Amino acid sequence: MIEVKSLYKSFDGRDVLKNINAVFENGKTNLIIGQSGSGKTVLMKCLVGLLTPEKGEVLYDNRNFVTMGKKEKKLLRSEMGMIFQSAALFDSLSVLDNVLFPLNMFSNDSVKDRIKRAMFCLERVNLKEAHSAFPGEISGGMQKRVAIARAIALNPQYLFCDEPNSGLDPKTSLLIDELIQDITKEYNMTTIINTHDMNSVMGIGEKIYYIYQGNKEWEGTKDEIFTVNNKRLNDFIFASDFFRKVKEVEVQNLSEEY
């Protein structure tokens, strides 16, 4: 579990995050949503230690990441996995070597055991047969799956995903969402996802945080989001005709149940 308490972050005297409080639970897909410039990327960077907040706490199972020393932070980072928006694979390395990269950096296992672990992770994302290929030789969806395999190579307790569906077609996006959710539950990880993808919100939004101009305006689940009385959130979520129609159907179904 990751808990954020009274978090503030500013740049050049301008508050970008204002009194953020949130609890990201184990075994759930926790989504952070909001418009571009809302502060959600800054929040994720504060969570992983790329930015230091002016005030507040970031507690990893009651361990305050903000006040940790360098040695403690390095140890905690070995418990984190990260899926970047662009996949961020090394073009000059094979698929297998990309997955091996964090193992070679942080693991004390033998070479044989590291390769065994990397191949297991590739098998978990259904890419074992592509281990000798290079990133430029596989599709965008496959690259994202390699990125997931690399992110789980060290068996992390915490998984961070920055727009994991960016640039993917709807069908592939759905497969990536399902894979992330399955892995989250399988390993009981604390998974946090920054996303603009409303299909992800409706599909795997077990816990959702809506950020607007640096403030947390709402939190809830994908089921609760249909009946929210927040105009800015509704305008964001139901910007398209398709999702407005989805909301109408869901509200009608809820009315019939009661």
pLDDT in tens, 204-234: 999 999 999 999 999 999 888 888 888 888 8
pLDDT at 256: 61
pLDDT at 258: 54
Residue 16 inside a domain? The answer is yes
| Boundaries of domain holding 86 | 2-93+156-225
Residue 189 inside a domain? The answer is yes
Band the pLDDT of 143: cuts 50, 70, 90. Answer: very high
Amino acid at site 46: C
Lowest mean pLDDT among 23-37, 72-86, 218-232, 241-255: 241-255
Residue 106 inside a domain? The answer is no
Band the pLDDT of 13: cuts 50, 70, 90. Answer: confident
Q: How far apart are CA 60 and CA 14, in angstroms?
A: 27
Residue 99 inside a domain? The answer is no
Query: For the chain, what percent of residues have pLDDT higher than 90?
Result: 59
The mean per-residue pLDDT over the stretch 43-66 comes to 94
pLDDT in tens, 22-48: 999 999 999 999 988 889 999 999 999
pLDDT at 165: 85
Q: How far apart are CA 152 and CA 150, in angstroms?
A: 6
pLDDT, mean over the chain: 88
Six token digits for residue 114: 């590291």
C-beta of residue 189 within 8 angstroms of C-beta of residue 157: yes
**Residue 222 C-beta-side C-alpha neighbours within 13 Å:** 16
What is the Rg, in whole angstroms, of the alpha carbon atoms belonging to the chain?
19
pLDDT at 196: 83
Question: What is the number of helices (H) and of strands (E) in the chain?
Answer: 9, 10
pLDDT in tens, 148-172: 999 999 999 999 998 888 888 888 8
Residue 36 inside a domain? The answer is yes
Taking alpha carbons only, the member of 208, 219, 164 closest to residue 28 is 208
Residue 125 inside a domain? The answer is no
Taking alpha carbons only, the member of 33, 10, 12 closest to residue 22 is 33
Six token digits for residue 243: 């999702």
Residue 50 inside a domain? The answer is yes
Judged on CB neighbours under 10 Å (0-12, 13-18, 19+), 240 is: exposed
pLDDT in tens, 127-140: 989 999 999 999 98
**Count of structural domains, the chain:** 1
Six token digits for residue 134: 């290079």
Residue 118 inside a domain? The answer is no
CATH of the domain at 200: 3.40.50.300
pTM: 0.86
pLDDT at 190: 96
